[in-house]
Structure 1
Amino acid sequence: MTETSVLKRFMDLVIAITALICLAPFLVCTALMILITMGRPIFFTHQRSGRNKVPFFLFKFRTMHQPRQTQETDAERITPFGLFLRKYSIDELPQLLNVIFGQMSLVGPRPLLREYDDLFTEVQNQRFLVKPGITGLAQVSGRNDISWEDKLNWDVTYVKTRTIWLDFIILVKTIFVVFSAVGFKPSGESSKFGAEE
């Protein structure tokens, strides 16, 4: 590991553990609200592609009710409370556990579904040279207001220019993006890669 990667891992652990401790009461309340409004399960887990396309299970708070009929779309299954969680990215907070487990970083390209692994160009595949992140350069550069091609371009740009200082800037910008709900779309943007995460 390089000095930069060691420092990045240290920063990931310190921030993720501190955030989990500080947010524990809020996370418990969120879990209880999901239990009351949607029932079990509280968490949604799904296999995603990590660094070098190694699979791992991503954690999220559940935002959809269980499918009642086959023709029901994902957008139709999002509950009002689930919509609130998505709008302010609260559903992503359980991924702090993925960071602690070493499967993700705080900052990096967002992890996508395994079924998309063969759809990337040679250049776009560079996004898999680093750990996926809870937030990334694409998320603070338009979120779902930009196309998937632009998102992937931002991912590659991050891989080529990543520094601890850039990570810090992205984390600060993420706070503004989350609280202002800039670029929020309930089910993301459809394309050959499907809906957002």
Structure 2
Amino acid sequence: MSQPLQTSTNVPLKPSKNIFYKVSKRIFDIIASSFILILISPILGYVALRIKLEDNGPVIFKQKRAGLNDRPFLIYKFRSMKVINRQKDKQENLYNWPDRVPDDFVFKTTTGFNPNVTKIGRFIRKYSIDELPQFINVLKGEMSIVGPRPEIIEISSCYDDYQAQRLFVKPGITGWAQVNGRSEISHGEKIAYDLYYVKHQSLVLDFKIFFKTVYQAIFGKGAI
């Protein structure tokens, strides 16, 4: 596993101001996400139909996340939970750290059998298919294909100034933290990897992350 840059808390980071990089990254996002959405459209249609047939609830689940410069946006995911439990789940996603998010915090996802997850939900979660609608967020300009994963508002609201620097760039479907540990790393490690990305943004690094993600998806290395 690659080691993240140990970024000093005393040296504020600045996102890239390279116009060529920013324009090229946006062009890549539009072209790649459009191509991927067309390519996977049969999968999207099949999953949407299965979700609708199972309980006749909404196909898409929307959740508020922290975007570029901490501007909130609604992230799109295929719904994997039963409708009756959505409000309960929302109430459980509350965090209250007075100073900062602890470095040893690890976001716990539900493992094993969960009766609140639908049958199709278990399948799409296992293979991260529930995340595919986020390519629509990319087309809308709310996300990028590569960037720090968008944090839920309850957690990002507890960031200190150092941690908040990960919000200096547009959130992504995959990022440097995801290809170097994904869901298995602590919050402190995730921040270090994300700030490494903020400091070293480039097309070379973006493509490295993109192709490492494709490799991990094919060979099942961890879960985003």
Q: TM-score range by the shorter chain?
A: 0.7 to 0.9
* Amino acid paired to 1:88: Y
> What TM-score, normalized by structure 1, do the two folds share?
0.85
Corresponding residue for 1:126?
165
CA contact 1:143–1:182 (8 Å) conserved in 2: no
Greater relative CO, 1 or 2 (CA 8 Å, sep 6+): 2
**Mean Cα deviation higher: 64-73 or 145-154:** 64-73
- How far, CA to CA, are the matches of 1:137 and 1:70 in structure 2? 32
Mind listing any 5+ residue stretches in structure 2 that lack a counterpart?
1-16, 93-108
**Mean Cα deviation higher: 73-82 or 108-117:** 73-82
Residues 1:11 and 2:28 are matched in the alignment? yes
Q: Percent identity?
A: 41
Report the alpha carbon displacement of residue 8 of structure 1 after superposing the two structures with TM: 0.2
Corresponding residue for 1:190?
none
- How far, CA to CA, are the matches of 2:218 and 2:81 in structure 1? 22
Aligned length, in residue pairs: 185
Alignment of 1:109-148 (within 5 A): 109-148=148-187
Residues 1:62 and 2:79 are matched in the alignment? yes
Per the alignment, in what secondary structure is the counterpart of residue 171 of structure 1?
helix
Corresponding residue for 2:132?
93
Report the alpha carbon displacement of residue 114 of structure 1 after superposing the two structures with TM: 1.3
Residues 1:151 and 2:190 are matched in the alignment? yes
> What TM-score, normalized by structure 2, do the two folds share?
0.76
CA contact 1:144–1:183 (8 Å) conserved in 2: yes
Corresponding residue for 2:209?
170
Corresponding residue for 1:20?
37
- How far, CA to CA, are the matches of 1:155 and 1:34 in structure 2? 34
Report the alpha carbon displacement of residue 122 of structure 1 after superposing the two structures with TM: 2.0
- How far, CA to CA, are the matches of 2:178 and 2:150 in structure 1? 12
Query: Which runs of at least 4 in structure 1 moved beyond 3 Å after TM superposition?
Result: 67-75
Mind listing any 5+ residue stretches in structure 1 that lack a counterpart?
185-195
Corresponding residue for 2:219?
180
**Mean Cα deviation higher: 79-88 or 102-111:** 79-88
Per the alignment, in what secondary structure is the counterpart of residue 27 of structure 2?
helix
Deviations 1:118-153 (A, max 9, x none): 322322211111100011111111111111221121
* Amino acid paired to 1:41: P
**Mean Cα deviation higher: 87-96 or 70-79:** 70-79
**Mean Cα deviation higher: 147-156 or 94-103:** 147-156
- How far, CA to CA, are the matches of 1:84 and 1:176 in structure 2? 20
CA contact 2:57–2:83 (8 Å) conserved in 1: no
Of 58, 66, 70 in structure 2, the residue corresponding to residue 49 of structure 1 is: 66
Distance 1:161 1:69, change over 3 A: closer
